[in-house]
Amino acid sequence: METLEKRLSTLEYVSVENEDDRTTVTVAPEKVLELAKILRYEEKYDFLFDIVGMDYGDEGFGVIYYLSQTENPARLTAVKTRTGSREKNELDSVCEIWESANVYEREVYDFFGIIFINHPDLRRIFLRTDWNGYPLRKDYDFESNSIPVHNELIPDMETSHSVYMHEGHEEDVTRSLFDSNEYVVNFGPQHPAMHGVLHLRVSIEGEEVKNIDPNFGYIHRGIEKLCESYTYPQILHLVDRLDYLSGTMNRHAVCLCCEKALGLEVPPRAQYVRTIIDELTRIASHLLGWGCMCMDMGSITAFVYGMRDREKIMDIFEETAGGRLMPNYNIIGGIARDINPNFIRRVKEFIPYMRKMLKEHHILFTGNPIATGRMKKIGYLSKERAITTGATGPSSRASGWSNDLRKIKPYSAYDKVDFDEVLRTGGDTFDRYIIRLDEIEQSLRIIEQLIDNIPEGAFAAKTGAIIRLPKGEFIQRVENARGQFGVHIASEGGKTPYRVKFRSPSLVLVNALKEIVPRHKIADLIMIGASLDYVIPCIDR
């Protein structure tokens, strides 16, 4: 960190602040691109974790870039900038430096109306093209959009819009996404293999995919806006509904973020149980991911087997937490209620059962020559591309990028257990497939070590009836089943947050499709999509 500070102190337009686990760099809006280039190429900040748009009221709009290095992944560096006045809403795009900025900047543009100069594809990402205003601005008028009664017209030949600086003045450039002679097929929003309501426009040539354009927002619920009017305990219940397959981990992230802000000590019992529940959720999610992948390949039987085994976990959740898909178990300060007396017995019964079933799953599918033929050497994502597209989680660990937050920056009880971060180097669909089954094995190991040692004691720390976070900005990252889930809370000291931003691991995964899919076949497109294992409600927050 000293080198960074030393390097940045030579620049007069930045100021650096150091906190215990992150560095905050404040920069003038004109110099963002310059600083970004220094950070990326001189200081090796190769992973753009997230871009958070902010509305600072009279001080204009702001953007926070969260950056990380692959050599020092535990530390996040926040680069903050604010435009100064509400009239100024232009910033330089960092797309060319980090590929993942493409979708993040579109999101900020969509919600805050900040125009990113030189962004290659500055369309609205979630909202309809005919939407008025920018909803996450604080002065957004709720009446400005009536409930739409007509369908949005999405032509096959949609145009993309960008703003370039040309000899000192702005220039609007409009270009078509596809050529008029391309054969464009719509996959989704209703399609059996799109895992929700994702819409992919795919231009194909025979069986081969030439070009692909994902279209999001079909189930956007405005959760981030909603959070601004909710109290912190109420926010927890929306978080479950982001990535419904790793709901407990997402909740865990928000709880940790609030606890860190409040300085709350979580009892060890709660920490152990949270970890076990997280790992159970991870197993359930990976089983479903495995099953869906098999089903997308045409093997429906494997899907049913995956769901059958997942049912055991759902039963454990139902008995202990009272909910199946939405256990609502983590609360700020601990867990909502003590574990059921049967919990330990059931989990212990589950571990050998799952091990046996894993073996069967491997025989049924991993060894199958048809399946391996369809997966091996298909959909290659290199480590460098994985980092720059921001793809985290199992999908990028298959490319050899070690980014497991459970290892890098252990939270709850992860520092007390011994497990391996599964890494593979192939980066193809097969590696992304097998890594999930291997992670189930590791999760079982974690649970095995914790289940007998759950400490006695309180299961939740005492909190006040009304939880008020101190003024400031807080970020927490958690490894969920799809990658690094991040929650950024900006608080003004009230009982509701000023701004909440969730970093969805799925959004960048879908964006990575653009990178991986071209020159593959239609069947591979489905397979690659399944192997990235994205969940659409997490993208469409």
Partner 1 sequence: MNEFIKYTVNIAKGLHMLCSGMYITMLNMIRPKITEQYPENRGKKTYFENFRGELVMPHNENNEHKCTACGICMMNCPNGTIQIVTSVLTDETGKNKKALDRYVYDLGSCIFCALCTSSCPQGAIQWTNAFEHAVYTKDKLKKQLNREGSTLMTKNRQ
Partner 2 sequence: MYSFKDITDGIDSILHLFLNDTFATLAELILAGLALIGAYAVLALTLIYAERKICAAFQCRIGPSRTGKWGVFQTVADMIKILFKELIRLDHNDRFLFRVAPFIVIIASMCTFAALPFAKNLHAIDFNMGVFYLIAVSSLGVIGILLAGWSSNSKYTMIGAMRSGAQLISYEISAGLSLLAVVILSGTMKISEIVEQQSEMWFIFRGHVPAIIAFFTYIIAGHAETNRGPFDLPEAESELTAGYHTEYSGIQFGFYYLAEYLNMFIVAAIAAVMFFGGWMPLHVSGWDGFNYIMDCIPSFIWFFGKTFACVFIALWVRWSFPRLRIDQLLNFEWKILMPICLINIILMSLIVVF
The contact set with partner 1 (CB under 8 A) reads 230-231, 233-234, 236-238, 301, 305, 308, 311, 315, 318-323, 326, 328, 331, 336-337, 340, 360, 363-365, 367-370, 465
Name the minimum Å distance from CB 527 to partner 2. 8
Nearer to partner 1, 320 or 392 (CB): 320
Cα distance between residue 411 and residue 418, in whole Å: 14
8 A C-beta contact, residue 509 and residue 534? yes
Please give the residues from 24 up to 53 whose contact with partner 2 meets the rule CB under 8 A.
none
Name the minimum Å distance from CB 376 to partner 2. 11
Nearer to partner 1, 104 or 290 (CB): 290
Of 374, 316, 317, the C-alpha closest to 345 is 316
Name the minimum Å distance from CB 537 to partner 2. 20
User: Which x/- pattern, by CB under 8 A, does the window 308-337 give for partner 2?
Assistant: x-----------------------------
Single-letter amino acid, residue 97: I
What is the Rg, in whole angstroms, of the alpha carbon atoms belonging to the chain? 23
Q: Among residues 42, 183, 237, 472, which is the contact residue for partner 2, using CB under 8 A?
A: 183
Distances in Å between the Cα of 454 and the Cα atoms of 256, 279, 350 are: 19, 15, 17
Structure tokens, 505: 């691991």
522 binds, among partner 2, partner 1, none (CB under 5 to 8 A by kind): partner 2
Single-letter amino acid, residue 456: E
Of 187, 185, 125, 122, the C-alpha closest to 156 is 185
Please give the residues from 474 up to 533 whose contact with partner 2 meets the rule CB under 8 A.
521-524, 526
Nearer to partner 2, 365 or 502 (CB): 365
264 binds, among partner 2, partner 1, none (CB under 5 to 8 A by kind): none
Name the minimum Å distance from CB 173 to partner 1. 43
Residue 472's SS3 state is: strand
344 binds, among partner 1, partner 2, none (CB under 5 to 8 A by kind): none
Distances in Å between the Cα of 166 and the Cα atoms of 30, 31, 37, 88, 102 are: 16, 18, 20, 18, 21
Pairing of strands 330-331, 334-335: antiparallel
Pairing of strands 76-82, 22-27: parallel
Q: Among residues 296, 431, 439, 479, which is the contact residue for partner 2, using CB under 8 A?
A: 296
Structure tokens, 344: 């330990």
| For the chain, counts of helices (H) and of strands (E) | 17, 17
367 binds, among partner 2, partner 1, none (CB under 5 to 8 A by kind): partner 1
Nearer to partner 1, 364 or 523 (CB): 364
Structure tokens, 514: 């653009």
Contacts with partner 2 by CB under 8 A lie at: 183, 185, 191-193, 204, 207, 294-302, 304-305, 308, 364-365, 368, 370-371, 373-374, 521-524, 526
